[in-house]
Structure 1
């Protein structure tokens, strides 16, 4: 603990380069490399100063400085995020926001929703992301279903793939005999912005099972591209595409003991996603129309439990903004989505039609917005949501903000239509409250932000086992079924800060306190904390850049104690992980880099029964032209 406190006291805030802080208007710019532009607040780009909702954006320079393919090393720098991983790199990795489950956090990549319709809870597995193909990560914390609809109960994460102006490549080796190679190429000019990036990861890995002896390896190919072509001054054509293919070794429950142990099982992953559209902007009117598709397929060859799972969604959508007199603007949108899943022996499909509107006042010092959304789902019916927020700059660079947002999560197709399904399920609902104060922007020489929040949830979906209870539905669902029951509350606060200590020396800290409670009357777990939601989390960093090409940095991640199960009987101990890194620019085009992760070889657990990686060293080189 003394070691943790020492590093926490040293690292004042999260490190990142000091981006230029110009504040553009609400015109549609390239948001991939602009950390002061948010799209999660309204669905269209606007200055981050003009939203009362808490948003954090990490750009490409910071992602590159952290090094490595593992996206969770970046996500640790976002306030309020928790993640679980069932083993090493490539294993199922889920991210939650402010105590919400992963299925209650909406994830988009290049504007395409990637939460898997075939998963029981509709989560997005972030193991399919490679940091080398990511340009920026934007996280809005708190419910925002007015703009985004289902699954935006805990927050919205928007990821943009890489857009390089030129050619670059990198390769690194280390850890568990892991090789990572990344390449990117693109062009940016007055008419055309186009880029393609690819990443290859091959790792020998380590045993997924904590008591196992054999290595569980991982291999992944990841390629993404996006483009925008300006046909006229007012009209642009846009498109993006992404393909992921991977294979990961798994451990399981082999006979005759059926306890978690080494197996020869593997899982193959294939993901396709993309969007084509058109962007019109002229005379105070912005229209962004498109068609998006995503398909996620998993095939497991475990001899005891083989499976084939496929989830697919297709979506037509329109987002728009009309600038009105007197600093007012109307944001609006409409969409229709077709989803289907196959998880043998179960399958099903559904459709959803939605529409929303937001009216906003955007003054020089004051911004106020409020809006409403309507969703009509072919299986469970309709749903209304409301949200409002405001921000006031009461002194130069000082802002206070507040927001109220409603969120909902439609029952997944598996929860509705599988052999455990219940057609009578209602959507999960949440109401979120947030207030905060900030000075400057993230990356400024001096930056500070404090946020307090509370989220109340109801109609949470749980599983009823017919082996431990009786219910009329057990007549047709003998093994059990999903049902609405649970109530929950998550509340706490978050602190972000950064300071330029000296020329070239920047330090920072992100701290989150989240208290979760099961508030379901009469439930056996009433009053318990939710599983794998630590109350305390902090990430601190410090970075130094010299005038002769040398850069040095260090990170620490401190995670407090948590319960591994809903019954609060299995405890996960607190832990602290430290990384150190360095890079040296040999020339204008060549850079050497390296790092050591988990420098004091901490033995820690984030999911009971699963291994985590010990100390690991990596070296690599980058080329840019």
Structure 2
């Protein structure tokens, strides 16, 4: 992983997963020969060789994910340059991801290209807390404002999670592990082709006694457990050589124990509370190619439904204290046209319909819905050998705030066939106000969209015959019209002028800025030994107060190293360092920095069967990413995995 692109794959040549990714997720721009380079898909919504991508992208492939033995997606994302995270406890608790200092709800999250953001959450963001790695085999993170191609919320960037792809031959993957805190996990996936149908289906189960969400260092004693069951599936049905059907689905059902703010003190303490959540995403599309394959079209329908309940079990029975349901329906068309050998177009139209329902203690439900219509287009050019350029424009029409037009451009230049690549990009972003911010009891229907514009410039250089690569990127972003919660006392906003007004509402009054550096180094000293080092500096400030934005460490550092020997023995480590940050906007509560180190080992028993083990948080570091909420201490885990 580097500041601009993934660099762990120092040996050239696309994997089967990358080739399948191109077929399934988006489309391929003609006139490219990606055989010698890693392929990036999410940045341009069409597959391009990494030396042709001007945006800052990190790709974590299947081999790295398997070697690192993670259970949570957060374990993977925490080592991505420019990414910081916060979590209210251990497995299954509320978790947010910030890219380059942006708000957690200013990130578009996709699974298999389907939007995961929750319309019923206050900021319509996505909670990573219950999301397990399971059968996710590839992660692409695009940093910087990306609204031209991804619309609302793509201010910080885009996280795209890809589950295992259909394969030509029968392939199986299975993993079973057990470890600390009575944690057990099972993962399985089968893929293959049966005539004209290629399929991949899998399931994941995890249960754990967990830790006390209320920090044990501050008096928490009651463990808060977590249990989750998930399934994933993809079908690729070839009707003719130029026509196919694409079906995808992902479902997760999780239950987390939680701590809360019980009377009479209403201070965080051990409580008997449950959080239940069900996530379902589905996609059905048809792909058609015309003009000898130069014009490729995709027409699809995507659906996301996230259902959440909070339950009090302190009295021996279950009392529902909160219920929320967020639903997103997305109708989309995308076309890719190879106009010439050096010019291609990506264009499309979308309609997104979102609705939410919330209620507390069985009371009347709050209901609302909103639509947004969009058109976009981007041109991808390779006018000279080694030079790639993109420029795009998007127009969105929203039911309440009106319209937003965004622009983006990027370029990449390599004078030596990819050994050295200079990149630069400019992007504008917007985020429509959430349904909660517009229509809840605290809502303000007069809200406008949040806006951003940002740019970055960077370079990567490979040396030592492809065994080493270094990179650096500098970025800046300015955010305006940001939505914050404000009090109603002497506030002239219309929501505060009604009889019995709420104690607060939302308004577009905040401005934020962020700038920083991302440095990376990757080495392969000998075959089978991969080392990746990343270091990020993120200065994210509230422009009105000059204070740092909360829960964003100014500095982060990560080291990921894995060595696979010829005898089948593998050893590795991940070291993650986060600097100090602040819990609150006033910068009066400090969160101390921390160092977390993991070590791991694996051994191939047979060609497809491996035994593995790891120690997480070797030094038993005690730290908080959210004030008063603890994080897991030392834990030992081990198991078996099978790939064939």
TM-score of the superposed pair, with normalisation by structure 1:
0.93
Question: Deviation of residue 362 (structure 1)?
Answer: 2.1
Cα separation, partners in 2 of 1:334 and 1:514, compared to 1, 3 Å = same
1:200 is matched with which residue?
205
- Quick check: 473-482 or 451-460, which moved more? 473-482
State how far apart, in whole Å, the 1-side matches of 2:447 and 2:25 are: 38
State how far apart, in whole Å, the 2-side matches of 1:16 and 1:52 are: 19
Aligned pair 1:257/2:265, yes or no?
Answer: yes
- Which secondary structure does the structure 1 equivalent of 2:90 belong to? coil
Residue 313 of structure 1 is aligned with which of 328, 333, 351?
Answer: 328
2:31 is matched with which residue?
none
Q: Are 2:200 and 2:235, in contact at CA under 8 Å, matched by a contact in 1?
A: yes
2:413 is matched with which residue?
392
The one-character-per-residue Cα deviations of 1:57-86 (angstroms, maximum 9, x if unpaired) are: 111111111103121111122111111111
State how far apart, in whole Å, the 2-side matches of 1:448 and 1:496 are: 6
2:225 is matched with which residue?
217
- Quick check: 538-547 or 36-45, which moved more? 36-45
Question: Deviation of residue 26 (structure 1)?
Answer: 13
State how far apart, in whole Å, the 2-side matches of 1:545 and 1:20 are: 18
Question: Structure 1: any 5+ residue segments left out of the alignment?
Answer: 1-12, 521-525
State how far apart, in whole Å, the 2-side matches of 1:218 and 1:174 are: 14
- CA-based RMSD of the aligned residues comes to 2.4
Question: Deviation of residue 589 (structure 1)?
Answer: 2.3
- Which secondary structure does the structure 1 equivalent of 2:268 belong to? coil
Q: Are 1:15 and 1:506, in contact at CA under 8 Å, matched by a contact in 2?
A: no
Aligned pair 1:229/2:237, yes or no?
Answer: yes
1:372 is matched with which residue?
393
1:456 is matched with which residue?
478
Cα separation, partners in 2 of 1:14 and 1:319, compared to 1, 3 Å = closer
Residue 327 of structure 1 is aligned with which of 328, 342, 358?
Answer: 342
1:610 is matched with which residue?
629
The one-character-per-residue Cα deviations of 1:254-308 (angstroms, maximum 9, x if unpaired) are: 1222111111110111111110101223431111111000000001113698000
Q: Are 1:17 and 1:61, in contact at CA under 8 Å, matched by a contact in 2?
A: no
State how far apart, in whole Å, the 1-side matches of 2:14 and 2:611 are: 32
Aligned pair 1:20/2:25, yes or no?
Answer: no
User: How is 1:285-324 mapped onto 2 (pairs within 5 angstroms)?
Assistant: 285-302=295-312, 306-324=321-339
1:504 is matched with which residue?
528
State how far apart, in whole Å, the 1-side matches of 2:466 and 2:334 are: 32
State how far apart, in whole Å, the 2-side matches of 1:170 and 1:58 are: 19
Question: Structure 2: any 5+ residue segments left out of the alignment?
Answer: 27-33, 314-318, 360-364
TM-score of the superposed pair, with normalisation by structure 2:
0.90
The one-character-per-residue Cα deviations of 1:204-247 (angstroms, maximum 9, x if unpaired) are: 01111123211110000011111212222212211101111010
- Which secondary structure does the structure 1 equivalent of 2:585 belong to? coil
Q: Are 1:15 and 1:543, in contact at CA under 8 Å, matched by a contact in 2?
A: no
Cα separation, partners in 2 of 1:221 and 1:444, compared to 1, 3 Å = farther
Q: Are 1:31 and 1:45, in contact at CA under 8 Å, matched by a contact in 2?
A: no
State how far apart, in whole Å, the 1-side matches of 2:50 and 2:327 are: 32
State how far apart, in whole Å, the 1-side matches of 2:341 and 2:429 are: 30
Residue 278 of structure 1 is aligned with which of 270, 286, 289?
Answer: 286
Residue 356 of structure 2 is aligned with which of 341, 356, 362?
Answer: 341
Q: Are 2:583 and 2:589, in contact at CA under 8 Å, matched by a contact in 1?
A: yes
State how far apart, in whole Å, the 2-side matches of 1:430 and 1:448 are: 29
Q: Are 2:9 and 2:38, in contact at CA under 8 Å, matched by a contact in 1?
A: no
2:160 is matched with which residue?
158
Q: Are 2:309 and 2:320, in contact at CA under 8 Å, matched by a contact in 1?
A: no
Aligned pair 1:419/2:429, yes or no?
Answer: no
1:535 is matched with which residue?
554
Q: Are 1:573 and 1:604, in contact at CA under 8 Å, matched by a contact in 2?
A: yes
Question: Deviation of residue 533 (structure 1)?
Answer: 0.6
1:172 is matched with which residue?
177
Q: Are 1:556 and 1:576, in contact at CA under 8 Å, matched by a contact in 2?
A: yes
1:50 is matched with which residue?
52
State how far apart, in whole Å, the 1-side matches of 2:601 and 2:164 are: 23
- Quick check: 593-602 or 122-131, which moved more? 122-131
